Amino acid sequence: LVLVRSSGSTGEPVSVPRLRLDLLHMWAVLGFFLRRLDLALPRRPRVVLLCPLPGGLEYSVRLPLLGEGALHRLSLQRPRPLERLRRARPAVLFSDPEGLHWLAAQPSAPRPLLILTSASHFGAAQRAALAATQPAPVVNYYSTTETGPIAWECLQSPGLFHVLLPDVWVESAAGQLLVTRLRPGAWPLLRYRTGDAGQVREGRCACGFEGPSLTGFDGRRACLFERPDGGAVDAWQLAWLFKQHPLRSFSLVQAGVERFRLELDPAEAAAAAGLAPALEAALRRLGWTAPRVEAGALARPEAKPEPFRCELPPPPGTFLDNF
């Protein structure tokens, strides 16, 4: 067995036991997406995991499960990431929305055949920005450490997530998603309450999928911060600054156009001295002129936490899309 860290259903970190073979399951799911989208990879394809995590971990390994290809993990924290990404020439690229935000801003970046993202909110505005520079289809999939991949967002009906049968079974009880893993694993997982909200509906989608799909999916909620010029910025672009902090231990709240409140669990309070200046610098890069980040105490929530919140009234006509 191997132990993998998870934020748990409430953001409280837990260790999840998994079979070593279970860690290969995502490659079977990737094969499904390739067949579903009718994409053919080149001989000996290169797969890149583009990682914005602060640790800077990088490695390269052979990938016999994918036509004798290779997997490269590239860190955005290391020098010259674009140069190394060009050298890797990825046919498939995995990242989270923060990594894709970086990719969309790079001149002459490689163009993989397929892009996959998970882990946090990936909104319609970011999808449109990425599409302007990357013609590849982007598969936004819903996954947890405990269950593995659960569903993927339909490319024809945004906001509708098709369940990955027969690997998992998903139910909705009082608006909360419960997941049962149907494939073998180190431990049984029956009706696991993920902490994400949504409804399950049966039927046939315009894309051809037939079976259960998730609607009203509300897990990692969208949050738009308002700039002084009236523009909106996806708050999840700041998520990389909190990679070392448990999901349940912080919240960043926009209390005024230039005023932000950084709420931290008392156990994390020592980190406020370094976090506040880093957040102010990141906000300036995103368009704020004189942002002020004030530290405060976090009231431990009873439900799954919301890392980003905006207390400003939304501008007239603004549509908030939920992940």
By CB atoms closer than 10 A (0-12, 13-18, 19+), residue 99 is buried
pTM: 0.74
Name residue, tokens 């994390």: 268
- Give the 3-state secondary structure of residue 170: strand
Please tell me the distance from the alpha carbon of residue 318 to that of residue 76, in angstroms, as a whole number: 32
CB neighbourhood size of 119 (10 A): 16
Please tell me the distance from the alpha carbon of residue 127 to that of residue 125, in angstroms, as a whole number: 5
Please tell me the distance from the alpha carbon of residue 75 to that of residue 78, in angstroms, as a whole number: 6
Locate 211 and state its tokens: 């079976």
Alpha helix stretches (DSSP H) within 54-123 = 81-88, 97-104
* DSSP state, residue 318: -
Please tell me the distance from the alpha carbon of residue 193 to that of residue 87, in angstroms, as a whole number: 42
Q: What is the pLDDT along the chain (323 residues), one digit of tens a residue?
A: 888 777 665 555 678 888 888 878 888 999 999 999 999 999 999 999 998 776 678 899 998 888 889 999 999 888 999 999 999 999 999 998 878 888 988 888 999 999 999 867 777 777 888 888 999 999 999 988 888 899 999 999 888 999 999 999 999 998 888 999 998 888 888 998 887 778 999 999 999 999 999 988 765 566 788 999 888 887 877 877 876 676 667 889 999 999 999 988 777 666 666 888 989 998 998 889 999 999 888 865 545 567 888 888 755 544 333 33
